[in-house]
Structure 1
């Protein structure tokens, strides 16, 4: 059977392979304080890929100025092919076994891996500069729905002017949709025409014309009907713009690990492999974590089972320093720049848009010895505890979390009382 898409011509796969090779050739690659690629590396990689950055980038441009490279960096790290190590000097560490698994995939499987990562696991707010509104993300919902109403290969005008949305051969998109529209082009769903600009303007569309491809017609139809972005992306629930929509809610709870099933049917590849779930064999045993309050000369070393939740760790920390557990808290994996990394919040925090700590297990975090992260208790007073992964004992059979070492007397939670 003739495949619906020539994956050997997919430049996105070629660019991602180029990206991975570059990162691998620079082990423990230094990153910026925010955990992004540095300007010199961005400039070097951009010279090697097919989908180059807009002409206004310079040798000093930041990752936000490189649409493709920012996207590929998120794919590489969210999928855990590479792990960001946040420390005094942030670095990027390859997961050799997982990269080898990626390299063993067929072209079709690589494509589905990239699509599955982007559609289900990517936090697009890191890329769109729009915070949590979700206006740009609506391209994967109403935007492509508009596009699919037009014939394949027809030149369709893309506009951010709402008053023009009903014109013939016209599709509306938010000015924040640039990265979403570009991603569809990279996946081969449509061709695009770029607007030449002197500098990046995140409040203006950088594309003004689309031409739907036969593959885009098939793939997007399948995704809209069977894998709607609003429900299949792990982070889309935080988008305010998606509230009150008329999407058809799935009848049953979603098993995100089944994402590839309709694509296997579409591609006629029933045995197509997926690299998800990431932790098919999650870490076992226990972690030894040193929890410190540097300003008070206090530390507690805790032995915590890999199956413990972050909320359970929070409770143990509270007991170890004799606090009252009467305020909200957050865990930040990027201790140097907390707002630029993963955050997990109190289950009781109704205003938080981050994953609740009682749904996250230590085994899910890909912790490594020497890693430092941050636990903030009482978001107004801000007790800042620094957590260091001291040891991982995969064969430990101890099932109860416990304190194994104490240094210093616990400070008073309320010194004026």
Structure 2
């Protein structure tokens, strides 16, 4: 079988630009929006100037949606756990490197490239990775596009009108990865966050091989973790490493290292959560890593003197009604809060998430991981160690207001 390399110009530029991106993040305090998690405009403008692939028609105030490649890089860096969000002074959030970044930088170029492709395929929520605002990209659409592209010939023009659904974001992502080239008047379209229609698509030899493997052996509906979590799974395991079926594309020994999966880490200890209704009303709760989220829910109910008479959810990304959630045991849709212990959640200090109680009245509480203590003894009964303010009335007496 013929072997390939990733020395084509597009792929080389992709790796060099991603390296520039991570180096910039690692050497500056780069802030992100609290709700959007997008990089602040001033940093995007500076980074764009350092890239080989520069986005045109942007200003210092342009948002992340105007920088499709940097948007993709941000998702790869965070979902690949090379960087994580961290609270800094003034309650701002910044992206900080993890220990994995050092290991990633020790990979050879093929291993780096395949790890980034793996992160895109397995860890990225396709809807959030969509890099053109007025476009659509989800698991179904990406799957259909890959299926079509895998049946084409390399180094020949492809007619886009035969694509089952033209997703500009999908085509852009594959182009940035160096799997193919496209010709289109993109700059004005991207400036206005509109989808574009390529006049020409050409897949290279390596790109066609990768599309064929992705289509036949790495079905996106089975391998994409956010997609599977949308259907109630929260522990997703795989029988073999993602890179295994790609090794034959390269010379022996060139694709060996990646980050392990299916490694269930339990972060033992005693957790202290600061649960805030507002800045003047909050409780601190100390609880064991071996207690589940449903137990934490009961502690919050006790702390705020609620009646525990409605359903609830924990939204781990802090966004109400997102799919990154654990629901109460009575809810018809999981994953459920009583199925996961706190130590299984890979929580870290200063991390924040949302506890939403009562789907009608919607009481919103911000839950912050205030501290994690190593302990040789297990805390059997959770403790409410501090409370500030007055517990709110769950059901105010409206007659008193008349």
Bin the TM-score by the shorter chain. Answer: 0.7 to 0.9
1:226–1:403 CA distance, 2 compared to 1 (3 A): same
Q: Which runs of 5+ in 2 are unaligned?
A: none
1:58 Cα offset (Å): 2.1
| Matches of 1:205 and 1:361, distance apart in 2 | 46
Question: Which one of 203, 208, 220 corresponds to residue 229 of structure 1?
Answer: 220
- In the TM superposition, 1:103-142 aligns within 5 A as 103-128=105-130, 136-142=138-144
User: Conserved in 1, the CA contact under 8 Å of 2:125 and 2:226?
Assistant: yes
Question: Which one of 281, 288, 301 corresponds to residue 318 of structure 1?
Answer: 301
1:373 Cα offset (Å): 3.4
- Other-structure match for 1:215: 206
Question: Which one of 91, 99, 102 corresponds to residue 100 of structure 1?
Answer: 102
1:269–1:65 CA distance, 2 compared to 1 (3 A): same
| Matches of 1:254 and 1:191, distance apart in 2 | 34
**More off after superposition, 302-311 vs 275-284:** 275-284
- Other-structure match for 2:65: 64
User: Conserved in 2, the CA contact under 8 Å of 1:334 and 1:340?
Assistant: no
- Other-structure match for 1:21: 23
Count of residues in correspondence between the two structures: 385
User: Conserved in 2, the CA contact under 8 Å of 1:7 and 1:107?
Assistant: no
1:106–1:362 CA distance, 2 compared to 1 (3 A): farther
- Other-structure match for 1:193: 183
- Other-structure match for 2:353: 373
User: Conserved in 2, the CA contact under 8 Å of 1:80 and 1:278?
Assistant: no
**More off after superposition, 218-227 vs 398-407:** 398-407
1:137 Cα offset (Å): 3.9
1:301 Cα offset (Å): 2.4
1:94 Cα offset (Å): 2.2
Q: Deviations over 1:388-408 (max 9, x none)?
A: 322111334315350141436
Q: TM-score, normalised by structure 2?
A: 0.82
Q: Is residue 376 of structure 2 the alignment partner of residue 393 of structure 1?
A: no
- Other-structure match for 1:245: none
- Other-structure match for 1:168: none
| Matches of 1:356 and 1:412, distance apart in 2 | 27
- In the TM superposition, 1:40-189 aligns within 5 A as 40-53=42-55, 55-85=56-86, 88-128=90-130, 136-159=138-161, 165=162, 171-174=163-166, 177-189=167-179
- Other-structure match for 1:31: 32
1:112–1:280 CA distance, 2 compared to 1 (3 A): farther
- In the TM superposition, 1:186-335 aligns within 5 A as 186-200=176-190, 201-237=192-228, 255=238, 258-267=241-250, 268-269=252-253, 272-277=256-261, 281-294=265-278, 298-333=281-316
1:69 Cα offset (Å): 0.3
1:204–1:300 CA distance, 2 compared to 1 (3 A): closer
1:256 Cα offset (Å): 7.2
Q: Deviations over 1:52-95 (max 9, x none)?
A: 32x23222110011111001101111122111135754322423
Q: Deviations over 1:143-173 (max 9, x none)?
A: 22222222211111223xxxxx3xxxxx343
Aligned residue for 2:199, secondary structure, equals strand
Question: Which one of 367, 370, 394 corresponds to residue 413 of structure 1?
Answer: 394
- In the TM superposition, 1:330-345 aligns within 5 A as 330-333=313-316, 338=319, 343-345=324-326
